[in-house]
Amino acid sequence: MNYEEFTSVSVLDEAYRKTRRGKRGKRAEAIFESRETARLIALSNYLRSGKYEPAALDQFMIYEPKPRVINAPSFRDKIVQRALTDEVVYPALAPSIPYNAFAAQTGKGQHYGLDLLEKHMRTYFLRRKAADETIRKKAGLPYRPMEEWDYARGWVVKGDVRKCFPSTDHEKLKAVVFPKLPGPEFCYLLEKYIDQVDGLALGHQTSHICAVFYLSKALHYINQDLHCPMSGMYMDDWYAIVETKEQAVELLEKAREKFRELGYELNQKTGIYPLQNGIDFCGFHLYLTKSGRVIRKLRQSSKKRMKRRIRRWERDFKEGKVTRREIEDRFQAWNAHAKHGDTRVLRQQLRERVDKIFKEARNEQKNQHPGGGKPFEAERKRAAEEADLPPV
């Protein structure tokens, strides 16, 4: 796609319709929608003029799962970023991202990463088992009985980048991203978003795919140069599975140097652990059992956070600060994530606690209105009897 096609009203209109999903109740979207055709034409002309400048960012904090500063663009700039990402940046960068990088890509994500990690753990187990059986067969020995299996023994290198987005070096990022783009106009436009803040803005759609592509340089190095295909990365969180502690120490040292070349530093959560301790990744803790089975347990912080929310809902629902629909939507979002692990009993317990909130509210309402569960139902019945009319 050339720049003329990219700035056409049809491309921007498609991006606009994707951008407004879930935002039609917000003021900025309503203002744009009130004259959407005229504003899209004006935006097209603005981009073609070569004088386009992004508006000032709206900065705010989020606190879950941890405190972060979000720099959100204006609604107009979100449309441009959506078009730029979908039509230009993603098609240019995605083919060069390795299969075991899971973030910011169509058809991938947290749960894809969990499935691949489970596959890596099973593959590690089965390869060790097959190698041991081959050796024993050549030596004329019987297969090892299950109670003596030690194929789940190994070592895990677990890494995390310190302040990944804020510490991204602009010049190094541009040097690897810009040659992939189809023209200088797109480089100029993407540069406007990259240079808006120090590092990368967390609220920009372009930031995520650029960061994944840039970080994948380290993952390529681990996969190919260090010969460790049983590895994976979700954004700046990565793992690698090896057989011995010596291999793990060597891999971590070389990987640390590679990240340093990219301008990053690994934080204090980075370390080497026995595989028997499990791997904490993408919201779950995965364990490889002695028999080769992989167990997924939900991360403790996720359990505590949901229990804390339910306690808050118990109070706020009685006071009318939160609706049943809001509670159901938030609980179902958590439940959809939690069901990817071995969490059936936990989800049943928390479902019962949520249902209890609504049940207690109905009982309280019936106590307040003895004639039924609806307000004023008793009064309507009494009035109908006094008028000698059938109750409505």
pLDDT per residue of the chain (392 residues) written in tens, 0 to 9: 899 999 999 999 999 999 999 888 888 889 999 999 999 999 999 999 989 999 999 988 888 777 888 889 999 999 999 999 999 999 999 999 999 999 999 999 999 999 999 999 999 999 999 999 999 999 999 999 999 999 999 999 999 999 999 999 999 999 999 999 999 999 999 999 999 999 999 999 999 999 999 999 999 999 999 999 999 999 999 999 999 999 999 999 999 999 999 999 999 999 999 999 999 999 999 999 999 999 999 999 999 999 999 999 999 998 889 999 999 999 999 999 999 999 999 999 999 999 999 988 777 766 665 555 455 454 555 555 555 544 44
Pairing mode of beta strands 155-160, 271-274 = antiparallel
pTM above 0.75, yes or no: yes
pLDDT of residue 25: 83
The torsion angles phi and psi of 69, rounded to 5 degrees, stand at -95, 125
Instruction: Name the residue among 255, 363, 380 with its Cα closest to residue 391.
Output: 380
pLDDT at 291: 93
**Cα–Cα distance, 358 to 168 (Å, whole number):** 47
**What pLDDT does 374 receive?**
54
Starting at the earlier edge strand, list the strands of the sheet with 284-288.
Answer: 279-281, 284-288, 294-298
pLDDT of residue 389: 46
Can you tell me the distance from the alpha carbon of 200 to that of 57, in angstroms, rounded to the nearest whole number?
13
